[in-house]
Amino acid sequence: MRFELVRAAAERHVGDKDVPGLVALVAAGEEVHVGALGRLSIGGEPVFRDSLFRIASTTKPITAVAVLALIDEGLIALEEPVGRLLPELTDRRVLKRPDGPLDDTVAAEREIIVRDLLTFTFGFGLATEMFFSPEPWPIVAATRELGLSTLGEPNPAVQPDPDAWIAGLGSLPLIAQPGERWLYNTGASVLGVLAARAAGEPFAEVMRTRIFEPLGMRDTAFWTSDTDRLAAGYRFTAAGPELWDPPDGRWSRPRAFDDGASGLVSTVDDLLAFARMLLADGRPVLSAQSVRSMTSDQLTADQKARGGLGPGFFDDRSWGFCQAVWDGGAFGWDGGFGSSWRVDPSRDLTVIVLTQRLWETSELPPVHRDIQAAAYAALD
């Protein structure tokens, strides 16, 4: 593999006015190359291979694996209604119009099942239309008032404990009928509550015992006390970079709600271990059947036609369980705090890029796109 192509692609983006620091990992079979470039913070210490980054929505596939492990154990069933463990989500009402008043509803046509949560089709979550409304939709304003932090930027500082969180969500109507359309994000948050109740232990413990310890993912968690290794988070504006979250900020202490949609910090080597488990048919964490389901298209044409994050979102991909699946067989998902994680079984290729620059749009940022392209070119 010509890793110099990947390093060159990364170097073009590293700097205080673009990406202060990053770690890029490319693995093809047993061959692994890592580049650590730039600084953990502007003017701060260098980035190293084991530096920690907030991985935001790259948390979602890990949440799916935790739930699938519980399904393999027989503690949950894929097709069962969620009401056995989440009575707060039974007998749902559904908004007549997504942007309508909260009391203008109809009855849900069926109960929510576990599969709906894994495929993001249970009837609640982010819709592209929300971002273009001149005024916040009533449902968006209600989630903010309840501190759910699920229809906007993740913020663990405002989220209540899991029981209060799911009670808050259950007090609101659904945005769509269960199974009707793909809506982003919230399904993974609900899965964390479901998993904790099924296992009878906090969601962080479910993650630790079912995934992190078996795979040796020593640095992945919902917070870290090792803040010297954690990159600062930056939001970039027309005026330049603004510090969004310092190393001793919101991810440096335990929180009330461990969010399965966006809560983890991790390293490139931990995420490689996670990828290799899926490439090895789930051993030693999942059954091969669970891996096949997670990494294959789980949406109908109608669900895709009404969903997505912007025009063309489903043009070359669909959705498995808590992650995208591409037409060519690759799978993975990215995080809006600056991460991307892509696995291509046809090439036995894994590409991981961790940065501390928040995304400005829902499109994959240039640094991630360029490194992924260079990784494929390095194989040819």
Residue 82 has pLDDT above 90, yes or no: yes
Please state, in angstroms and rounded to a whole number, the distance separating the CA atoms of residues 193 and 263.
Answer: 13
pLDDT for 233 equals 98
Please state, in angstroms and rounded to a whole number, the distance separating the CA atoms of residues 287 and 281.
Answer: 7
Task: For 54-75, write each residue's pLDDT tens digit.
Answer: 999 999 999 999 999 999 999 9
HSE-CB of 362 using CA atoms within 13 angstroms: 14
Do the Cβ atoms of 123 and 98 come closer than 8 Å? no
Residue 1 has pLDDT above 80, yes or no: no
Please state, in angstroms and rounded to a whole number, the distance separating the CA atoms of residues 377 and 4.
Answer: 11
pLDDT for 348 equals 96
Report the share of the chain in percent with pLDDT over 70.
Answer: 100
Per DSSP, the three-state class of 236 is strand
CATH topology classification for 3-56+202-379: Beta-lactamase (3.40.710)
pLDDT for 362 equals 85
Query: Mean pLDDT across the chain, nearest whole number?
Result: 96
pLDDT for 239 equals 86
Confidence band, pLDDT 50/70/90 cuts, at residue 2: confident
Which run of H or E residues covers position 144? helix 138-145
Residue 349 has pLDDT above 80, yes or no: yes
Burial class (CB within 10 angstroms; exposed 0-12, middle 13-18, buried 19+) of 276: middle
Confidence band, pLDDT 50/70/90 cuts, at residue 139: very high
pLDDT for 308 equals 87
Across residues 298-325, what is the average pLDDT? 93
Task: For 316-327, write each residue's pLDDT tens digit.
Answer: 999 999 999 999
Domain boundaries, the chain: 3-56+202-379, 66-199
Confidence band, pLDDT 50/70/90 cuts, at residue 133: confident
Task: For 83-113, write each residue's pLDDT tens digit.
Answer: 999 999 999 999 999 999 999 999 999 999 9
pLDDT for 380 equals 83
Confidence band, pLDDT 50/70/90 cuts, at residue 310: confident
